[in-house]
């Protein structure tokens, strides 16, 4: 099971561009401190936090439309696969059931996977707006397992944020971490610098 943003696709810079634009439209700065508050969050959680910061509580629907329109355009133009992502998916495809469980809404997730030419690579793709509780709740991973017909306790999640790790843990899954931010103390079972790690690709190709 794979997260998408920051794990399969390098969309975090795209989110930074989009979030910076939304902040700038209100004359507000967006730097590392702000980014740390948003990374890994679902869109509803992102929008709720923005509404609070902007003093625009009650206008969440308008903020969400603004954010989604901006991010879809940026991802479609600029997002790139993370190192090793395409190779790892290709190595696993046909050997094991594989899925994507993403905290992005379906529209954004579809744009990202299409940009990487991965739209047809997975047996299941689950987006945040298709479950009751997104990450850090377990719903996304449990839904992906159900669609694949596999046991969560025998499944492996690849995640880049502590929010995603918490979701996978709550679902009862083992976790490989490829941290987007500081790797020190990252709470995964195995922590890698990149999906291009030769040991991971060798493992995938040996199955």
Model pLDDT, residue 82: 97
> What would the CATH number be for the domain defined by 85-206?
3.40.50.1000
**Structure tokens belonging to residue 38:** 């948003």
Specify whether 3 is catalytic.
yes
**Structure tokens belonging to residue 4:** 């998408």
**Is the peptide bond prior to 142 cis by the omega test (within 30 degrees of 0)?**
no
- pLDDT in 10s for each residue of the chain, 207 residues: 999 999 999 988 898 999 999 999 999 999 999 988 988 787 888 999 999 999 999 999 999 999 999 999 999 999 999 999 999 999 999 999 999 999 989 999 999 999 999 999 999 999 999 999 999 999 999 999 999 999 999 999 999 999 999 999 999 999 999 998 778 889 999 999 999 999 999 999 998
**Cα Rg of the chain (Å, integer):** 17
Taking the model in full, what pTM does it have?
Answer: 0.86
Q: How far apart are CA 66 and CA 87, in angstroms?
A: 34
Model pLDDT, residue 38: 87
If phi > 0 it is left, if psi is from -120 to 50 it is alpha, else beta; for residue 27 that is left
Specify whether 139 is catalytic.
no
61 alpha-carbon distance from chain centroid? 22
Model pLDDT, residue 183: 83
HEC profile of 169-201: HHCCCEEEECCCCCCCCCCCCEECCCCCCHHHH
Model pLDDT, residue 61: 97
Catalytic residue among 5, 10, 139, 160: 5
Q: How far apart are CA 123 and CA 94, in angstroms?
A: 10
CB-based contact 135:40 (threshold 8 Å): yes
Q: What is the largest CA-CA distance in the chain?
A: 54
54 alpha-carbon distance from chain centroid? 25
Please, is 10 exposed, middle or buried when counting C-beta atoms within 10 Å of its C-beta (0-12, 13-18, 19+)?
Answer: buried
Model pLDDT, residue 42: 78
Q: How far apart are CA 19 and CA 32, in angstroms?
A: 12
């Amino acid at each position: 099971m794979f997260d998408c943003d920051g794990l399969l696709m390098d969309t975090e810079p795209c989110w930074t561009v989009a979030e910076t634009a939304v902040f700038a439209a209100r004359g507000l700065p967006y730097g590392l401190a702000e980014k740390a508050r948003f990374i890994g969050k679902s869109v509803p959680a992102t929008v709720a936090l923005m509404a609070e910061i902007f003093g625009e509580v009650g206008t969440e629907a308008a903020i969400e439309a603004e954010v989604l329109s901006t991010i879809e355009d940026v991802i479609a133009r600029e997002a790139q696969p993370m190192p090793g992502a395409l190779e790892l998916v290709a190595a696993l495809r046909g050997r094991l059931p594989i899925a994507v469980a993403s905290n992005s809404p379906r529209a954004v997730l579809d744009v990202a996977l299409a940009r990487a030419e991965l739209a047809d690579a997975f047996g299941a793709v689950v987006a945040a707006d298709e479950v009751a509780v997104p990450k850090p709740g377990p719903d996304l991973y449990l839904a992906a397992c159900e669609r694949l017909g596999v046991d969560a306790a025998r499944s492996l999640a690849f995640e880049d944020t502590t929010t995603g790790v918490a979701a996978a843990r709550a679902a009862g899954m083992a976790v490989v971490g490829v941290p987007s931010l500081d790797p020190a103390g990252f709470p995964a079972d195995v922590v890698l610098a990149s999906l291009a790690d030769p040991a991971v690709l060798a493992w995938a190709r040996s199955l």
